Amino acid sequence: MQAEIRSDDKKPETRKKFDVIIIGAGPAGYTAAIYTSRAKRETLIISGILPGGQLMLTTEVENFPGFASGIMGPELMTTMRQQAERMGTTIIDDEVVNVDFRHKPFKILTYSEEYEADSVIIATGATPRKIGAKGEQEFSARGVSYCATCDGPFFKNQEIVVAGGGDSAMEEAIFLTKFANKIHVIHRKDKLRASKIMQDRAFENQKIQFHWNTIIEEIKGNQKVNQITVKNTTTNKVDTLEVGGIFVAIGHEPNTKLFQGQIDLDTNGYIALKNHTQTNVEGVFAAGDVHDHRYRQAITAAAFGCMAAIDVDKYLSEHK
Ligand code: NAP
């Protein structure tokens, strides 16, 4: 359980009812809050256990407009948080454990409090997918990582594995060449899903070796990872790679478990939107990676946050 924080005055939050409660504090959540607060709607963000979302686990962001020389992910999120607070948003670093969208006002329960809201924006994002290999759980944080930015420096001058064939895997592999001697990219198919530019950068990098049609069978070690067993699915040949770690970069799962049975989800568990950013429950909106499995960029998440905030403002004007 996290302590309540209001960085403007550091007093605990006493208000329990808000015009809008935003669940999640990534680019979508912070942008939505900047807009709703600026529109004079009493706004609460319940940030969850990783305020800032996935960008807190990123190094340099080169493609967020407005930063000609790029900006570090955590710095971008801290700045967004400060901007939301300057607009008057209350931010609580607590986790939502239950919601009740059946009656109005909506009820949102955290570990420590129950809040009420006339409208809700869900901006809970998505979480890295697990590969499901033997040893993955056992060696998590002992050589198995889901964040190259966070853990890359621990693998100086080592050989390591990156699992996946998308943009994330290529980005992580290229980033990790700063530290590691050699990167083995293990991909289950014979071609990458990653964009052409990322493929070209990875292919050009002499430190990266590709293993096609290959799956990870087992992650082994003592105190930490020291071997990974891989199998070629075309030849059935099994190989053992003597490596110090593995970075799993195979996509994400939407963080929607909390909302199952309360709002409509699609077949992959992402929130299904009904009308612009509105869910099937009138007054409950969604923004960012929690519904967007196509674009999944910081800038698109921020844009969805803006749209949800405008939709909320209109909804509140019509219903309050
Ligand atoms: P992704 O595009 O969904 O790619 C996931 C990769 O992991 C695919 O190659 C997939 O294999 C593989 N995979 C999935 N489940 C697996 C499993 N159980 N075992 C083994 N392999 C598995 O996810 P992403 O790379 O995280 O990218 C997500 C989105 O963010 C994309 O739209 C991407 O373009 C964007 N993105 C962009 C950048 C950039 O432009 N700099 C950086 C990062 C992400 P298959 O190919 O066989 O399906």
What domains are defined for the chain?
A: 8-127+252-318 (3.50.50.60), 144-248 (3.50.50.60)
pLDDT digits (tens, 9 = 90+) for 69-124: 999 889 999 999 999 999 999 999 999 999 999 999 999 999 999 999 999 999 99
pLDDT at 103: 96
Q: How far is the centre of ligand 1, averaged over its atoms, from the C-alpha of 74 (Å)?
A: 22
Indicate if the pLDDT at residue 167 is higher than 50.
Answer: yes
Alpha-carbon Rg for the chain, nearest whole angstrom, is 21
Indicate if the pLDDT at residue 47 is higher than 60.
Answer: yes
- In ligand 1, which atom is closest to the CA atom of 128? 26
pLDDT at 11: 57
pLDDT digits (tens, 9 = 90+) for 271-311: 999 999 999 999 999 999 999 988 888 999 999 999 999 99
pLDDT at 6: 45
319 lines ligand 1 (CB under 6 A): no
pLDDT at 290: 97
Which has the higher per-residue pLDDT, 254 or 54?
A: 254
Cis peptide before 153 (omega within 30 of 0): no
Q: How far is the centre of ligand 1, averaged over its atoms, from the C-alpha of 36 (Å)?
A: 33
The residue nearest atom 15 of ligand 1, judged by CA position, is 250
Rounded distance, CA 25 to CA 1, Å?
17
The residue nearest atom 17 of ligand 1, judged by CA position, is 131
168 lines ligand 1 (CB under 6 A): yes
188 lines ligand 1 (CB under 6 A): yes
Out of 19-33, 52-66, 68-82, pick the least confident. Answer: 52-66
User: Which residues make beta-bridge pairs with 45?
Assistant: 22, 91
pLDDT band at 57 (very low <50, low <70, confident <90, very high): low
10 Å Cβ neighbour count for 206? 7
Residue position matching structure tokens 């071997």: 227
Residue 306 bears catalytic tag: no
209 neighbors 227 (Cβ within 8 angstroms):
no
pLDDT band at 3 (very low <50, low <70, confident <90, very high): very low
The token pair at 181 is 């001697």
Indicate if the pLDDT at residue 4 is higher than 50.
Answer: no
pLDDT at 7: 45
Indicate if the pLDDT at residue 10 is higher than 70.
Answer: no
The token pair at 314 is 């209109």
- Among residues 94, 151, 292, 311, the one annotated as catalytic is 151
Q: How far is the centre of ligand 1, averaged over its atoms, from the C-alpha of 70 (Å)?
A: 23
The residue nearest atom 43 of ligand 1, judged by CA position, is 168
pLDDT digits (tens, 9 = 90+) for 221-240: 999 999 999 999 999 999 99
296 lines ligand 1 (CB under 6 A): yes
- Indicate the top mutation candidate among 167, 186, 228, 296 to test ligand 1's pocket, ranked by most ligand atoms within 8 A of CB: 167
